[in-house]
Structure 1
Amino acid sequence: MMSLVKFHVTGLVASAFLSLSFGVHADQYHLPILQYHHVDETTPFSTSVTPAQFQAHLDYLQNEGFQVIDLRSGLNTLRAGKALPDKAVAITFDDAYRNIYDNGFPILKEKGFPFTVFINSDPVLKRNRQFLTWDNMREMQQYGGVMANHTISHPYMVRKEKGETYGDWFERIKNEVLQVETLLIDKLGQSPKMLAYPYGESNDAIRAFLTQEGIIGFGQQSGVVGVDSNFTNLPRFPAAGAYADLEALKTKLSSIPMPLDAVETKGDFAGDDPVTMTLTLKNGQYRTKELNCYVSGQGKASLEWLAPQKVAITAAEPFSYGRGRINCTMPANKGAHYHWFSNVWVKPRAEEGYVMEKSEKY
């Protein structure tokens, strides 16, 4: 049986707890994770769901028998090679916005769904009225809420500030993470040791640091977490803004990991040439003729099969500056499921001070 966040079990909360604990129908070795930011009608569209949309999402999860589980417990189960409950899913929020408490938490509380909020601590400590208070968070903890790390100041973690050496940069970034870990324990009594990278950006040095500290990391590439996932850069499905449409969300919730044996991306950064990556599928029979990969802002990528299980995927054009991605899907052999994999690159401007793997010594 899965371990769950301890919270008050009353009314509908008790019902949801029982369904989570005893309503297991089949084994599942993957976990879709939904990513939200704002729950409000007046906040930026790209990072917002309205309260009505959020209600519709959670109603769908409940009505269709999805089992909303505690994120860290689910990830621990997968890493141990054990199965999750059938139709398991996790809910997360980035940034410590007050509207999560005002508009999202009442719905989560009513349904008894556990959830995780990745908090950036600076506006909380400054008592910014648009952000959560520690008392808000303590109340949310009683009903399945878990607060996790989103750094102090929400920086671009892979950018050096003006005049910084590599060593200065790395110490600053470590401090951004470790101070929040200390705050979570001091103010809330615990830390799940999970970090959502601001803007989804990380590099080898940061990911190695997280491994050293025993912290799980999350990017902003879409996809499903599986047993073989990189637990320093896990995917989530955005569920706000253009991605809040319930029909599109249904497809993502039924997705499963791409059965990958190896991924070659040539690093985290894009240059002046079109990006390319190579995927090697695990041994098995797949619907490889139906594999499709799409490049953000460009349409379909070109596919070159180097071997029956190995494909090179190339964008048609170079990326513009900023973040770009390739999303790949392939129908599963059984059921109405799609294998899903996504990768993100950053194309930096020189003046942005990005720490480039090939030019910096770690």
Structure 2
Amino acid sequence: MINQNKKTYFKERISSKKYGVLMKKIIIVAIFCFFIISKFTPIHGQQEKIPVLMYHHLENNLNSNVVISPENFEDQIRTLKEEGYNSISSQQLYDFLNYNIKLPENPVLITFYDGYLSNYELAYPILKKYGMHAEIFVITSRILEKNEKNSYLNEIPKMNWNQLRAMQDFITIQSHTWDSHYKLVSNNGVKNAALYGPGYINNNFEEQLQYEERVKNDLILSRKLIKEKLGYEPIAISYPFGIKSEDTIELSKVAGFKMGYVIENKKIIKGDNLFSLSRITVNGNETGDELIKRLKS
């Protein structure tokens, strides 16, 4: 009877030890899983929000929704830097949204549109001074081959390809179409963005296939030119006037773009449609502190 009790006792001890080892393993795995989840999950359930700032033209002593003076621009860029914001590229934003590749703290994407000469003469030196990257979305048909005058009357001077090449240490060039920054009268008599849908051309209304061919060829040509002139293909398209349709998105994908920008004046978060990413209009009248306050609100 005593021997039997001893056997039972030792069996229970062995089982207890196995149970203890098992529980330790479970606890270790649970701690590891918690560490991994906490590492990649935003604190308190907050998602990272990335602002994409939208600028156009710089001009001395002139500030508005689309124009900013060099003094005000430098104040904004300097304040962003002092407040710990880190400039990123569309490629970094794409990698974050698509593959969860970590971004630097306080990421901000600084963008310009149309390809104005002032971006090279006034904005680029300021960006370089503060070590801030930016992206310029150019209308490629408007970019000059050399230093000749613009062939389009009453147009603010644009850059040439040599100037775009000279800025590659802090500037990436993306597409604002080849030559579709205009509006067409649609079938309801209202003007809409040329990329949006069929419109009247030379008093004739386009068929759907004609519209698709026009837009597809324009977008492909814009990417081709940037590749030929700068050595890389742009991954992002900004729709003129911030207007797009489902057709616009599909044609952008066909042309080889990976992402597209609209204007909704809100920050980007994971889960946003890659072809409907929002930009925030920067007012030239804002001080650096006012811009920061708006970004933090």
Task: Choose which of 198, 204, 217 in structure 1 pairs with 2:260.
Answer: 217
1 or 2 for the larger relative contact order (CA 8 Å, sep ≥6)?
A: 2
The number of equivalent residue pairs is 228
For 1:145, the equivalent position in structure 2 comes to 171
Contact 2:79 2:289 in 1 (8 A): no
Larger radius of gyration: 2
Q: TM-score, normalised by structure 2?
A: 0.71
For 2:10, the equivalent position in structure 1 comes to none
Task: Choose which of 210, 220, 225 in structure 2 pairs with 1:178.
Answer: 220
Distance, in Å, in 1 between the alignment partners of 2:69 and 2:86 is 23
For 2:238, the equivalent position in structure 1 comes to 196
SS in 1 for 2:196: coil
Counterpart residue type for residue 175 of structure 2? N
Q: Does 1:232 align with 2:275?
A: yes
Distance, in Å, in 2 between the alignment partners of 1:239 and 1:168 is 36
Contact 1:29 1:83 in 2 (8 A): no
Counterpart residue type for residue 226 of structure 2? L
Contact 1:29 1:84 in 2 (8 A): no
For 1:158, the equivalent position in structure 2 comes to 196
User: Within 5 A, what are the aligned runs for 1:1-362?
Assistant: 29-41=48-60, 45-125=64-144, 127-129=148-150, 130-141=157-168, 143-153=169-179, 154-155=181-182, 156=193, 157-159=195-197, 160-162=199-201, 163=204, 164-212=206-254, 213-241=256-284, 244-254=286-296, 338=297
Contact 1:97 1:131 in 2 (8 A): yes
Contact 2:138 2:177 in 1 (8 A): yes
Counterpart residue type for residue 166 of structure 1? Q
Distance 1:176 1:245, change over 3 A: farther
- Higher percent of residues as helix: 2
SS in 2 for 1:30: coil
Counterpart residue type for residue 172 of structure 2? V
Q: TM-score, normalised by structure 1?
A: 0.59
SS in 2 for 1:230: coil
Q: Which runs of 5+ in 2 are unaligned?
A: 1-41, 151-156, 183-192
Contact 1:124 1:131 in 2 (8 A): yes
How far 1:48 moved relative to its partner?
0.5
CA RMSD of aligned residues (A): 2.2
Distance, in Å, in 1 between the alignment partners of 2:61 and 2:218 is 30
Distance, in Å, in 2 between the alignment partners of 1:39 and 1:193 is 25
Distance 1:200 1:85, change over 3 A: same
Of residues 146-155 and 66-75 in structure 1, the stretch that sits farther from structure 2 once superposed is: 66-75
SS in 2 for 1:85: coil
Contact 1:222 1:237 in 2 (8 A): yes
Contact 1:36 1:239 in 2 (8 A): yes
Cα deviation 1:279-311 (Å, max 9, x = unaligned): xxxxxxxxxxxxxxxxxxxxxxxxxxxxxxxxx
SS in 2 for 1:219: strand
Cα deviation 1:203-222 (Å, max 9, x = unaligned): 00111222343431001221
How far 1:150 moved relative to its partner?
0.4
How far 1:30 moved relative to its partner?
2.9
- Higher percent of residues as strand: 1
How far 1:247 moved relative to its partner?
4.4
Counterpart residue type for residue 92 of structure 1? T
SS in 2 for 1:117: strand
Contact 2:65 2:281 in 1 (8 A): no
Cα deviation 1:241-300 (Å, max 9, x = unaligned): 46x34444223422xxxxxxxxxxxxxxxxxxxxxxxxxxxxxxxxxxxxxxxxxxxxxx
Distance, in Å, in 1 between the alignment partners of 2:67 and 2:166 is 23
Contact 2:265 2:278 in 1 (8 A): yes
Cα deviation 1:34-58 (Å, max 9, x = unaligned): 1100011377833101001100001
Distance 1:74 1:104, change over 3 A: same
Contact 1:37 1:240 in 2 (8 A): no
Contact 2:76 2:289 in 1 (8 A): no
Of residues 148-157 and 229-238 in structure 1, the stretch that sits farther from structure 2 once superposed is: 148-157
Distance, in Å, in 2 between the alignment partners of 1:169 and 1:95 is 23
Contact 1:71 1:115 in 2 (8 A): no
